[in-house]
């Protein structure tokens, strides 16, 4: 097996359930339903086998349709793909967790999930309104439920056998550490924004120590300009190794020990993002030396998703 295929096909062991998560993941945060379907099919055809969804994205039905059609067309078994979705903030009351899970499963047309995540640690006012606001436009939070309360309900999903692993998204060590200590079923995955401008080194080291997979979203900086894709260190390495800046950033993420999510919307871009190969050590050292520090999504501070338009 070549170095290139090593990265493309890398699968990381989960600390619960004995499964593995493909390091290269396709994120489905795409507002347009038709593009969701074509992009998901394109990612599957390019080689992606890890698909990350969310109740909050409002397109689980389209992702499910694309996956079902793609699996049949490609002769791919359900067991050969890894599907994640997420519990949204307005469903954090323990009695709402299982119904929300079942609704997502139904929309995705699946009979089990590989991974279910708490989308953010912030509980919103329970109900069907995903973005509850008061008359002043402020988020209405639910202070009557704790993260551990939600986690206990998540654990019961695993106990019932329809969800193989559980984890968290948009958390820091301050939330993760006490939950890890109290949890009966330990978090298998923690999904956070991470790229050379936000390396999350301390969180990554903790995750490695506890055998938790750190799953990086926005590894390309969410297309922000200027951002990592245009960083002179990244572009110089890309020219030197004969790869695109995106391929350099994705290879760096896998080589440092994280899984990642990328959201190519065309088949050509999906093939580009999947075609990564190992970077030399000197390139990794140069990327480690980047001093810019920038977060592109403020969801960790409020629970409101920074990459989704308000009211969507």
- Residue closest to 70 by CA, chosen among 120, 36, 104: 36
Q: Where are the beta strands (DSSP E) in the chain?
A: 11-13, 20-22, 24-27, 50-52, 82-87, 115-118, 166-169, 189-193, 213-217, 259-262
Of 57, 116, 180, 197, which is the active-site residue?
Answer: 57
Q: Sign of the C-alpha dihedral, residues 120, 122, 127, 130?
A: negative
Q: Return the half-sphere exposure (C-beta side, CA atoms, 13 A cut-off) of residue 276.
A: 30
Strand partners, 117: 86, 167
Tell whether omega for the bond before 226 is within 30 degrees of 0, i.e. cis.
Answer: yes
Q: Using CB atoms within 10 A of its CB, is residue 18 exposed (0-12), middle (13-18) or buried (19+)?
A: exposed
57 is catalytic: yes
Catalytic annotation, residues: 57
């Amino acid at each position: 097996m070549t170095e290139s295929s090593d990265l493309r096909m890398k699968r990381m062991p989960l600390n619960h359930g004995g499964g593995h998560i493909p390091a290269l993941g396709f994120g489905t945060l795409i507002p347009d339903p038709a593009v969701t379907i074509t992009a998901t099919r394109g990612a599957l055809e390019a080689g992606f086998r890890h698909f990350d969804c969310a109740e909050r994205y409002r397109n689980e039905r389209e992702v499910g349709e694309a996956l079902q059609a793609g699996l049949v067309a490609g002769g791919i078994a359900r067991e050969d793909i890894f599907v994640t979705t997420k519990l949204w903030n307005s469903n954090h009351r323990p009695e709402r967790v299982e119904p929300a899970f079942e609704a997502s499963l139904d929309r995705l047309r699946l009979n089990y999930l590989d991974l279910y995540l708490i989308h953010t640690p912030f509980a919103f006012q329970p109900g069907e309104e995903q973005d509850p606001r008061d008359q002043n436009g402020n988020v209405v939070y639910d202070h009557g439920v704790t993260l551990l309360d939600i986690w206990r309900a998540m654990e019961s999903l695993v106990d019932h056998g329809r969800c193989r692993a559980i984890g968290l998204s948009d958390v820091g060590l301050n939330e993760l550490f006490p939950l890890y200590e109290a949890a009966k079923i330990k978090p298998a995955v923690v999904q956070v924004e991470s790229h050379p401008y936000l390396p999350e080194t301390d969180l990554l080291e903790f995750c490695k120590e506890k055998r938790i997979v750190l799953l990086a979203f926005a590894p390309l900086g969410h297309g922000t300009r200027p951002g990592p894709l245009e960083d002179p260190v990244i572009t110089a390495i890309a020219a030197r190794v004969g790869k695109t800046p995106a391929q350099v950033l994705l290879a760096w993420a896998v080589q440092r020990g994280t899984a990642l999510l990328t959201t190519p919307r065309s088949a050509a871009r999906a093939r580009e993002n999947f075609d990564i190969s190992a970077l030399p050590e000197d390139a990794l050292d140069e990327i480690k030396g980047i001093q810019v520090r920038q977060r592109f999504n403020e969801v960790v501070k409020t629970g409101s998703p920074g990459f989704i338009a308000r009211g969507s």
